[in-house]
């Protein structure tokens, strides 16, 4: 009887998970398929999932009439450099907080954690004034430098340091290894699951960032994808917004994020589970 109940429970759980997955995937699938529909088909009621006739005009118009390829390159460049910078500085700071005992460590770490509750809107104006006085308006570096060492990334790396035995690092010191060499050759390889999780989190955040690029970037050629796609709302044909172009652009925007998650799915899940280790 107990075995039958466990089997029934497993079936119910799997059914709920499948239903949840379908609910999650359906909007994305509708977006992709609707990018091949005419505007009339997109708003047809009752809606149809598949288009009556597959058209590729929206994708062609997106590349011919807008700066979409340039925006795509801008976002790839900014998100990639920002992710690499966050991985380096967060892991280095996490190594310092997790494996070194220095004066004021707990106070500094508590201040760091407290900064996570401050909304970005609170620091938006002071940050804008600062970069404006430094002459960094409309610069790609402004999208990267202020966010190279996020509190969340440092906190995450510091927690993962608990899974690395301190005796292993002491053995390396006895063998004559330098501190940065210990970090680079020993700590980083052991942090691979955590780095994978932070990679997905950081790339997604940078790729989807809208408010800060909207405030900082002035030339259209320097727009990132979220800001560039927002300008498509102003592009009209015969007084009607080209929703097909918006859906085509949104489909292409989602491809790198989905690809990155599929490639790093194991590291991402492993990173989430290893985070439960405590000192």
pLDDT confidence of residue 140:
92
Torsion 227-228-231-232 (CA) sign: negative
Comparing 6 with 33, the larger pLDDT belongs to 33
pLDDT confidence of residue 154:
93
**Average pLDDT, stretch 187-198?**
88
pLDDT confidence of residue 274:
59
Percent of the chain with pLDDT over 70: 92
**Average pLDDT, stretch 175-181?**
88
Domain range list for the chain? 56-274
Q: Could you read off the pLDDT of 132-159 as tens digits, one per residue?
A: 999 899 999 999 999 999 999 999 899 8
Q: How many helices (H) and strands (E) does the chain have?
A: 15, 2
pLDDT confidence of residue 1:
61
Percent of the chain with pLDDT over 90: 32
pLDDT confidence of residue 2:
67
Q: Could you read off the pLDDT of 222-240 as tens digits, one per residue?
A: 999 999 888 877 655 555 6
- 129: tokens are 């004034």
CATH class of the region 56-274: mainly alpha
Comparing 66 with 265, the larger pLDDT belongs to 66
pLDDT confidence of residue 49:
80
pLDDT confidence of residue 145:
92
Residue spans of alpha helices (H) in 134-238: 151-160, 166-174, 179-182, 188-190, 192-208, 211-216, 225-231
265: Cβ contacts below 8 Å, ≥ 6 apart: none
pLDDT confidence of residue 214:
92
Is residue 159 within 8 A of residue 275, CB to CB? The reply is yes
- 58: tokens are 């929206």
pLDDT tier, 279 (very low <50, low <70, confident <90, very high otherwise): very low
| pLDDT for 89 beyond 70 | yes
pTM of the model: 0.84
- 193: tokens are 């699951």
Q: What is the DSSP track for 100-152?
A: ---TTHHHHHHHHHHGGGS-HHHHHHHHHHHHHHTT-TT-GGGGTGGGSS-HH
Classify residue 271 by burial, with Cβ atoms within 10 Å: 0-12, 13-18, 19+: buried
Comparing 50 with 124, the larger pLDDT belongs to 124
**Average pLDDT, stretch 77-94?**
94
| pLDDT for 104 beyond 70 | yes
pLDDT tier, 3 (very low <50, low <70, confident <90, very high otherwise): confident
| pLDDT for 182 beyond 80 | yes
**Average pLDDT, stretch 245-273?**
80
The chain-wide mean pLDDT, for the chain, equals 86
């Amino acid at each position: 009887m107990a075995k039958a109940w466990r089997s029934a429970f497993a079936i119910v759980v799997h059914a709920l998970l499948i239903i949840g997955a379908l609910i999650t995937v359906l909007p994305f699938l509708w977006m992709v398929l609707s990018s091949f529909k005419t505007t009339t088909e997109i708003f047809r009621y009752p809606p149809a999932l598949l288009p009556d006739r597959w058209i590729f005009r929206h994708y062609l118009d997106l590349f011919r009439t807008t700066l979409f390829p340039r925006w795509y390159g801008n976002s790839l460049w900014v998100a990639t450099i920002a992710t690499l910078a966050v991985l380096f500085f967060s892991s280095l700071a996490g190594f310092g907080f997790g494996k070194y005992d220095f004066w004021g460590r707990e106070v500094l770490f508590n201040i760091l954690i407290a900064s996570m509750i401050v909304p970005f809107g609170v620091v938006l104006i002071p940050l804008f004034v600062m970069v404006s006085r430094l002459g960094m308006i409309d610069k790609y570096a402004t999208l990267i430098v202020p966010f190279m060492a996020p509190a969340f990334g440092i906190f995450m790396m510091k927690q993962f340091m608990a899974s690395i035995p301190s005796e292993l690092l002491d053995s390396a010191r006895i063998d004559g290894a330098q501190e940065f060499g210990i970090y680079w050759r020993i700590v980083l390889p052991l942090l691979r699951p955590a780095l994978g999780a932070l990679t997905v989190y950081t790339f997604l955040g940078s790729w989807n960032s809208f408010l800060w690029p909207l405030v900082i970037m002035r030339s259209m050629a320097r727009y990132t994808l979220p800001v560039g796609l927002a300008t498509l709302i102003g592009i009209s044909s015969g007084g009607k917004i080209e929703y097909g172009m918006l859906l085509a652009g949104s489909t292409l925007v989602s491809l790198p994020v989905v690809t990155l998650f599929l490639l790093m799915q194991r590291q991402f899940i492993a990173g989430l589970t290893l985070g439960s280790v405590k000192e």
